[in-house]
Structure 1
Amino acid sequence: MANATTATPPMMDAAAPPSERIQPRRLIAFLIMVFGMFMAILDIQVVSASLSEIQAGLSASSSEVSWVQTSYLIAEVIAIPLSGFMSRALGTRMLFAISAAGFTVASFLCGFASTIEQMILWRAVQGFLGGGMVPTVFASAYIVFPRSKFHIVGPIIGLVATLAPTIGPTVGGIITDWMSWHWLFFINILPGIAITVGVLALVDFDEPHLALLDNFDWWGLITMAGFLGSLEYVLEEGPQYEWLQDTSVATCAAICVVSAIFFFYRVLTAEEPIVDLRTFSNRNFAVGCLISFCVGIGLYGLTYIYPRYLAEVRGYSALQIGETMFVSGITMFLTAPVVGRLMQKVDLRLIIATGIIIFALGSYQMTWITRDYDFYELLVPQILRGIGMMLAMVPANNIALGMLPQERVKNASGLFNLTRNLGGALGLAVINQVLNERTDLHISRLQERVNWGNTTATETLNMLAQKFVGAGDASLMAMKQLSQIVHRQAVVMGYGDAFFMLTVFYFCLSLTVLLLKKPNMFAPVEPAH
């Protein structure tokens, strides 16, 4: 007895119960699923740097080609919350295999699309099936592995969820530059086949409950699709079409409101709701979802704003943008194992608050942006962004999902991932609106100051006129170039305002950790009610 009580920690680890060990088969199966999730999330942003090439290849208008991304996002945002119910009904193995196989076929058809209509259709199918993979991986991480291993699996899924959209433009730019835009989709085919076969062969996490399909809530699905799909459209298209002044945006806003009313009524009264909102009664899950929503704003917002600045102001190609943006991706990759170690020793709430503040500091450095900001000026802000994102996201995953009863995790994973995507959609809408409004404001203010009484403006105009002597109407060309300079300066000032808005927002967000209960990852889980 004495020997047993004085066993050293290594001896105790060696005698750890089987439930605390990760089975190699399950670990390999999980990593295959993680790669599938990476592929699905990557495809959201992988086309963003190559839309002009796709537009030219399909002879589409600029408004039509935007639907290559919008259709994917709308379909995905509907599939993500649905995945919880489908995972319980079909089982993880069958749902993931169907999703991976369908995603692969849709990718193949996207690559061979000859019209914009075909591309939009297959992108929507691709988004819907890809949306089923993401929350399934999150749920599996917190169901399959013991709590003592959450500090290992948490950084893996957190890294993929944040890294994939960050490097999407980089990967897309490289593929399009080296081959053609068709390969943005063909590159999914071999990995997709391998993932499908691997999942069918190795995944054995749970059993299907096909009887649940007998009570499938079709009205719940229809109202949820109307609510989330129209909301995504309003957020995507609203900023460029003056919101409710555009008929299609106003119509979708009305559909969104009506569908939302019926959807919430349905899920709160149905015997087997398509989404169980009762999980929000868990405080840490609810606050974790709020943090996920707000982190989504920064994750997708900055993945949009940096490339737009580099293209619009610096005139960078897709490949140059990708090379510049890759810094955040490398930083996230290097930070992930550090976060895993910290989670074993430091209060998760403190890690989240530190990450949000670091993210805010990275945005603050960009408030001084000028038209000369290049790779080296963007280096430190991007490093801070990568570190902050990982420190905030990974512990938030564990706090929100790791403390829930296992029977609630599948449904909760869909809701948690939905909040991140909706945060991204809202972030893009707000950032676009801020850029548009502040740029217009700065243009009007600068034009008021650029007059004949302004010595600097007069000297600049005379210098430009001399440059164009002999090339036609020198004074008119000088005025035109001065107007372009004013417009570019106004655009840069608009970017500075957007970064300042994000800075204030994230400093305030860091206070939300005070709402979290101190998590104990080794305490017994509260039973579901």
Structure 2
Amino acid sequence: MATGTLPAARAEPRARPANADLSAWLAVAAGTLGALMATLDISIVNSALPTIQGEIGATGTEGAWVATAYLVAEIIIIPLSAWLERLLGLRTFLLIAVSLFTGFSVLCGFANSLVVMIIGRVGQGITGGAMIPTAQTIIAQRLPPHQQSMGTAAFGVVAILGPLIGPLVGGWLAENVSWHYAFFLNVPVSFILILLLVVGLPHQPAKLHLLREADWIGILGLALGMGGLTVFLEEGSREEWFASGLIQQMAALTVVGFILLFYGQFTAKRPVIKLALLLDRQFGSVALMGMALGVVLYGTSYAIPQFLSAIAGYNALQSGQVVLLSGIPSIMLMPFVPLLLRYLDIRIAVLFGMGIMGLSAWMETGLTADSVGSDFTESQLMRGVGQIMGMLFLSQAVVQSVPPEDAGDASGLFNSMRNLGGSFALAGISIVQQNRMWLHSRRLEETLNANSPDVQGYVSGLGQAMGNASAGIRLLGQQIQQQALVMTYNDIFFAMSLVTLAVMPLVLFLRPLPRNASLAGMH
């Protein structure tokens, strides 16, 4: 019987990876919608804040609490999100978060005092902050690897656009309906979100035994430390610092809180925030640059509407349109994200992004009493470019800086550091407004000699124009206050530019990203 060699088996074509089904995309849509709602509410009050302050009886510096309370609450909840997902199951956790977020939004909408508003904003921050990192979890769990870049790109657009369109949406509602609906808007959106969550995410059993493993001391320390530090910074200047019993108590509370937080680092099996990651040269540098990024992002989105309202007489909608300008370059650059990651060195990209952010803030240091929204156009467009470059590459550097098992902790810590930068910016703006406003007013007054013929002639002319000599003096005082306020905002933008300049040398500690690095999410 003749024998022969059998032909080699033909290689089977590699099976095409299965695409995500409809329920998976509904889950991604739910996560993205939740993240949009949460990021939108970070800044939705900024342009309408002058109106809100007037109706709830808050001063300009007290009004900063309406924005700060949300950011501080987010700082506390973001590191806890991964643990809460495991404890309750992702769907149950998100359903609870969305329901509570809706309730706190309604509370903000009905608020008639600063205290009620702050309670509502803290509740919004805690529950809304939980929806942001979970959106990235849904993308990782429900989409196959070859489709995750699509989900991540959608999330990236939301993460950038949310804080930018917030002032525009809030401003439009404040001008055409009522500022209350900036919060009531969340009710129908939450209803849609709950339907998507029920359909798109499977139920997972709760793991209540994890309650015993929680870093309760660290959680308590984080809440006390961040809460106390925020009150200390916000109220310190107004209360004359340690001359006030309240400030003394807040300082003590801050110290106790951070002691508890550090104690948890050494005693808990899994600390609430893994602060040891900051000791890594690259991750520590990324975290500090992320904090500086938060200072400029949240600081400018708060300061620009306040300036335009006080100096140019802009309404909430007009201010929101100016803030939205920085989103245009971000959206235009988003399709090129994969190419940028593949071919652009992270050190060059971050240096360029942070430099543009700092330059955009420096361009706003030459404001005058005649400045209007168009004077912010160039700086806002530049800020959009710097934002996408800085956020994009720093977010990628986070997961590349630590071992895979620490990626979740690193992402939570990075996001908390960026929000912490925003909280410091808002507190710093309040402090600068109080101190520099007084200083510039006194300096301007010192240049005016009451016996000077020029001064007397000017005041007399104002009095004749107003039909009342005393009215001329009052008008001069108002002009002094206006000029002092403009100079104060110039100081604020200059300080932001210095913050970015200070951290730019840290790019030397960054390592190039791997060529095949997967696209990490941004927030």
TM-score, reference length from structure 1: 0.85
Q: State the one-letter code of the partner of 1:494.
A: T
Write the mapping of 1:264-279 to structure 2, written as runs, cut at 5 A.
Answer: 264-279=262-277
1:18 aligned partner: 17
1:302 paired with 2:296, answer no
The equivalences for 1:64-83 within 5 A come to 68-83=66-81
Q: Is 2:515 the partner of 1:517?
A: no
Residue number in structure 2 paired with 1:359: 357
Change (3 A) 1:508 1:202: same
Classify 1:65/1:378 alpha carbon distance in 2 versus 1 (closer, same or farther; 3 Å).
Answer: closer
Give the deviation of 1:270 after TM superposition: 1.5
Following superposition of structure 1 onto structure 2, how do residues 177-216 of structure 1 map, counting pairs within 5 Å? 177-203=175-201, 209-216=207-214
- Residue correspondence of structure 1 range 498-509 to structure 2 within 5 A: 498-509=492-503
Rate the CA distance shift 1:371–1:353 in 2: closer, same or farther, 3 A: same
Structure-1 residue corresponding to 2:48: 50
Q: Structure 1 residues 167, 246: closer, same or farther in 2, change over 3 A?
A: farther
CA distance 1:368–1:149, change in 2 (3 Å) = farther
Q: Which residue of 2 aligns with 1:5?
A: none
* 2:50–2:309 contact (8 Å) kept in structure 1: no
CA RMSD of aligned residues (A): 3.3
Alpha-carbon contact 1:220-1:274 (below 8 Å) kept = yes
The 5 A counterparts of 1:110-121 are 110-112=108-110, 118-121=116-119
> Are the aligned partners of 2:355 and 2:386 in contact in 1 as well (CA < 8 Å)?
yes
Shift of 1:86: 1.4
Paired residue type of 2:500: Y
Q: Once structures 1 and 2 are overlaid, which stretch shifts more, 387-396 or 456-465?
A: 456-465
Q: Distance in 2 between matches of 1:397 and 1:267?
A: 24
Kindly provide the CA deviation profile for residues 242-301 of structure 1, in whole angstroms up to 9, marking residues without a partner as x: 443433233112101111012211222222333333433544333222221110000111
- Residue in 2 that maps onto 1:477: 471
C-alpha displacement of 1:381: 0.9
Match of 1:171 in 2: 169
Q: How does 1:141-180 map to 2 (within 5 A)?
A: 155-180=153-178
Q: Deviations over 1:451-476 (max 9, x none)?
A: 257676455334323323xx23x2x3
1:195 maps to amino acid? L
1:410 match: 408
- Whether the 8 Å CA contact 2:68–2:427 is kept in 1: the answer is no
Q: Tell whether the 8 Å contact from 2:230 to 2:427 is kept in structure 1 after alignment.
A: no
Task: Indicate the residue corresponding to 2:425 in structure 1.
Answer: 427
Overall identity of the aligned pairs, in %:
34
* TM-score normalised over the length of structure 2: 0.86
Q: Does 1:497 align with 2:495?
A: no
Residues 17, 282 of structure 1: alpha-carbon distance in 2 compared, 3 angstrom cutoff:
farther
Indicate the residue corresponding to 1:8 in structure 2. Answer: none
Matches within 5 A, 1:91-110: 91-110=89-108
Q: CA 1:208/1:332 → structure 2, altered by over 3 Å: closer, same or farther?
A: farther
Give the letter aligned to residue 259 of structure 2.
I
- In 2, Cα distance between the equivalents of 1:350 and 1:206? 44
Number of equivalenced pairs: 507
Query: Once the 2 structures are TM-superposed, how far is the Cα of residue 415 of structure 1 from its aligned partner?
Result: 1.4
Assess if the C-alpha contact under 8 Å between 2:46 and 2:301 holds in 1: no
Q: CA deviation at 1:346?
A: 1.1
Distance of 2:203 and 2:410 partners within structure 1: 17
Range with bigger deviation, 354-363 or 190-199:
190-199
Contact 1:70-1:236 within 8 A present in 2 as well = no
2:348 corresponds to 1:350: yes
- Tell me the equivalent position of 1:223: 221
Cα 1:284/1:208, change in 2 over 3 Å: farther
Q: State the alpha-carbon separation in 2 of the partners of residues 461 and 365 from structure 1.
A: 34
**Is residue 2:405 matched to residue 1:395?**
no
- Judged with a 3 Å threshold, the aligned counterparts in structure 2 of structure 1 residues 61 and 492 are, in CA distance, closer, same or farther, namely closer
8 Å contact kept, 1:84–1:413: no
Range moving further from structure 2, 206-215 or 432-441: 206-215
Amino acid paired to 1:517: R
d(CA) in 1 for partners of 2:272, 2:457: 67
Match of 2:133 in 1: 135
Alignment of structure 1 residues 451-462 onto 2, 5 Å: 451=449, 457-462=455-460
Partner of 1:487: 481
CA, structure 1 residues 419+380, in 2 after alignment: closer, same or farther (shift >3 Å)? same
1:1-41 deviation per Cα after TM superposition (whole angstroms, max 9, x unaligned): xxxxxxxxxxxxx968638x766654442232122112112
Deviation at 1:489, TM superposition (A): 1.6
- Evaluate the alpha carbon distance shift between residue 508 and residue 443 of structure 1 in structure 2; reply closer, same or farther with a 3 A threshold: same
Cα distance in 2 for residues equivalent to 1:147 and 1:290: 30
In 2, Cα distance between equivalents of 1:431 and 1:152 = 38
Tell me if the contact between 2:66 and 2:117 (Cα under 8 Å) persists in the aligned partners. yes
Q: 1:524 to 1:294 in 2, by over 3 A?
A: closer
Whether the 8 Å CA contact 1:26–1:202 is kept in 2: the answer is: yes
- Say which SS state the counterpart of residue 18 (structure 1) adopts: coil
Q: Which runs of 5+ in 1 are unaligned?
A: 1-13
Deviations 1:479-512 (A, max 9, x none): 3222222222222122222222222332332222
